[in-house]
Structure 1
Amino acid sequence: MVPPIHQFAELPLDATPAPSAAGAPRIRARGEAPRVGVIYNPRSHGNKGVDFDCDQSPQVHFAKPGDREQLPEALADFARRGIDLLVINGGDGTVRDVLTSGAAIFGENWPAVAVLPKGKTNALTFDLGVPTGWTLQEAIDAFDAGTRVRRRPLEVTPLGKTQKSRLLGFILGAGAFTTATSAGQSAHKLGAFNSMAVVVASVLGVCQWLFATRENPWRKGSKMRIGLGREDAALEHSGIGDPEWRQIVLASTLEQLPGGVTPFGKVRDGLKLAVTDQISRKSAGIVLQMLRGKAPENIRDKGFHQVSTSQFTLRIEDSFIVDGEAFPPGDYLIAQGPELEFVAP
């Protein structure tokens, strides 16, 4: 079963915030504690039954939005307070929603961001090197004593819309990736999370390739067109399977993924894209090799594509996934969003 579709019409439209909402970064006085804003998602897997883990301080401001629609108001309040550090207490989906809502509020003046890995999947914090049990107090301490990692999220915008809306996230997938996300949710029900969920979904996928028919969602994929760069040049096709269909699409700006998988080849920064055509059963073993960074020669001839690009368009007739949630078919531009500075241990 595909996850519920989250329509773009539900996302906040871009708007210019009031001048008092987001200004230039403030200058801290010597010895002054950082001003911290915490977005706490009580529905995140790791937060069930867990209270805030930081001593109350006048410099730490909490918000517990009941739904996505309340996020802009909470973030605008943090911007008016001039926070130095935005702490996101939740998983990848919470990060996606906070960044999406904050784009129009903070603009080019984002505070530093810290993420507490409290979700069922925490791919971003894995990439940042944040340990599973990282606490709010440790994140605040790391603002001055920790490290900083710069990452740019994916920015997904619908093409041809008069009212601009956008989505910021870190992992986009389509085709069999949508089916794999459902498998990952099944793995969650079995108690497998993070890297283990990736392993379970990968094993299920290979089994489907080996034994399922061409009409099985794991092997059929989705009908789509991918255009690379500002020229919107069509991504080449190997000639294996229907050229209008792709079996798997995966895009990300992260450098390390859970489970040690390396679908994009060698580690590199920026926007990366991995695509497979409708590959045959005998190619299932190549998929496992590629996930472990052992790509064979002439992989494009075998139906595999690993690309770095400044942007790409995705015109797709099926739903696609961003950070664990499905979004509707349509025509989209995928580029890199603002450069964010993340706090890590």
Structure 2
Amino acid sequence: MKAHTGPVGLISNPGSGHNRNHFERIRTRIGQCPQIHHIVTDSPADIKPALTELAARGISVLAINGGDGTASAVLGELLESGLFATSPLIALLPGGTANMNAGDIGISGSLRKATSHFCEWCESGRDTTDKLAQRTLLRVVTVDGQPPLYGMFLGGGAIIQGTEYAHREIHSRGFRDDFSLALSTLRTVWGVLRKEPLYNRHVAINLFLDDADLAQHNTLILAMSTLQRLAFGMRPFWGQEPGDIQLTLIEQHCTRFARTFFSIIRGRPSNNAVPSAGYISHNAQKIRIELDGKLNLDGEILVVKGPVEISASMSLKFLKL
């Protein structure tokens, strides 16, 4: 048995997806666990003071109760600020809407069950045997002089229409987690297959992988991630190169879209998933893209015009329960 010792800190965003309906119940359960120092944030401006307080307390475990955007904002501040001499062990609770990050490297189950499971872990021997995973984050710089953004998934092309559809038609009806992401993915694929103009807008992207030369693509779908498992078990990356950032790009002229797409998201790309047919997958440590359009960074829409620099952060250690 490998036990993890030291104080535990938890940062909550009560305005995130599942927390909006269940936060008082979650707060009560956390309050019953004296090992946890709980800080509730009301805005992104509260994140740095919260981390400063937890660093002063010498925490060795940092739990985050919020969505993918909250987790990335907290972890980005942790990486940029240098407040911790040694990075704490990270525990992600599924308190948001999509919870894709927690689904890969966090505490599984509903928010109530995940919170109870984490509290029980804190109250017991804190065994970490076979419960640890390491991941980097995407460090995204869109404009010179602006603070970098962080996330674990970056998407473009038809993913933007799928995201906007999810915000407009799915999340507003109360659907959350993998189910909501599955619905938005199916709607996107249906739109592409029917050649609906909204879903078939190509995005001209100039792509630089590590130190390779420029490659130009008329892009239908762009996806990058440092996760191993995306929503509802998708594993759409099959590049073999070294590098923490996984990239898949599907071009506008791709052939046999439906059959090839579903083979890709199952993690078993068909023989048609090759560059000559419009399907590219590659791993890298740094990526530069140039475009005029929108990107989805962990569910948040970014409007960009010009170069975007994406690099892998230092690796963090996550608790999986």
Would you say same fold, with TM above 0.5?
Answer: yes
Identity %: 24
Going by fraction, where is strand more abundant, 1 or 2?
2
* 2:272 aligned with 1:272: no
Amino acid at match of 2:214: A
Which ranges of structure 2 fall in alignment gaps of 5 or more residues? none
Write the distance in 2 (CA, Å) between the matches of 1:211 and 1:342.
41
Partner of 1:233: 213
Can you list the C-alpha shifts for 1:272-328, whole angstroms capped at 9, x where unaligned? 000011135842332122212232225211111011111110112002111000112
Write the distance in 2 (CA, Å) between the matches of 1:266 and 1:307.
4
Contact preservation (8 Å) 1:114, 1:139: no
Partner of 1:290: 264
Match of 1:313 among 280, 284, 288: 288
Can you list the C-alpha shifts for 1:78-122, whole angstroms capped at 9, x where unaligned? 111111111101111110111122222236632111111111111
Write the distance in 1 (CA, Å) between the matches of 2:258 and 2:204.
21
Calculate the TM-score normalised by the size of structure 1: 0.80
Contact preservation (8 Å) 2:135, 2:318: yes
Higher deviation after alignment, 143-152 or 71-80: 143-152
Partner of 1:88: 64
Contact preservation (8 Å) 2:285, 2:311: yes
Write the distance in 2 (CA, Å) between the matches of 1:142 and 1:57.
11
Contact preservation (8 Å) 1:210, 1:282: no
**Cα distance change, pair 101–279 in 1 and its aligned pair in 2 (3 A):** same
Partner of 1:322: 297
Over 4 Å off, 4+ runs: 56-59, 266-269
SS of equivalent to 1:98: helix
* 2:6 aligned with 1:34: yes
**Cα distance change, pair 247–83 in 1 and its aligned pair in 2 (3 A):** same
Match of 1:171 among 128, 150, 153: 153
Partner of 1:14: none
Give runs of aligned pairs for residues 214-225 of structure 1, distance below 5 A: 216-225=197-206
Contact preservation (8 Å) 2:250, 2:279: yes
Contact preservation (8 Å) 2:161, 2:198: yes
Match of 2:133 among 143, 149, 154: 149
**Cα distance change, pair 301–36 in 1 and its aligned pair in 2 (3 A):** same
Higher deviation after alignment, 188-197 or 31-40: 31-40
Which ranges of structure 1 fall in alignment gaps of 5 or more residues? 1-30, 238-242
* 2:96 aligned with 1:114: no
Write the distance in 2 (CA, Å) between the matches of 1:274 and 1:324.
18
Amino acid at match of 2:12: Y
Match of 1:75 among 42, 51, 68: 51
Write the distance in 2 (CA, Å) between the matches of 1:142 and 1:90.
24
- The root-mean-square deviation of aligned C-alpha atoms, in Å, is 2.5
Write the distance in 1 (CA, Å) between the matches of 2:173 and 2:32.
37
Partner of 1:180: 162
Partner of 1:140: 122
**Cα distance change, pair 266–138 in 1 and its aligned pair in 2 (3 A):** farther
Write the distance in 1 (CA, Å) between the matches of 2:294 and 2:141.
15
Write the distance in 2 (CA, Å) between the matches of 1:275 and 1:69.
35
**Cα distance change, pair 294–56 in 1 and its aligned pair in 2 (3 A):** closer
Can you list the C-alpha shifts for 1:110-138, whole angstroms capped at 9, x where unaligned? 21111111111111121126312211413
Amino acid at match of 1:41: N
Partner of 2:176: 193
Write the distance in 1 (CA, Å) between the matches of 2:63 and 2:80.
18
Calculate the TM-score normalised by the size of structure 2: 0.86
Give runs of aligned pairs for residues 125-136 of structure 1, distance below 5 A: 125-128=102-105, 130-132=107-109, 133-135=113-115, 136=118
Can you list the C-alpha shifts for 1:246-270, whole angstroms capped at 9, x where unaligned? 1111000111122122211389982
Can you list the C-alpha shifts for 1:130-183, whole angstroms capped at 9, x where unaligned? 312211413525782132211111111236x2x351112100001111111112
Write the distance in 2 (CA, Å) between the matches of 1:223 and 1:32.
48
Deviation at 1:225, TM superposition (A): 1.1
Contact preservation (8 Å) 2:72, 2:151: yes
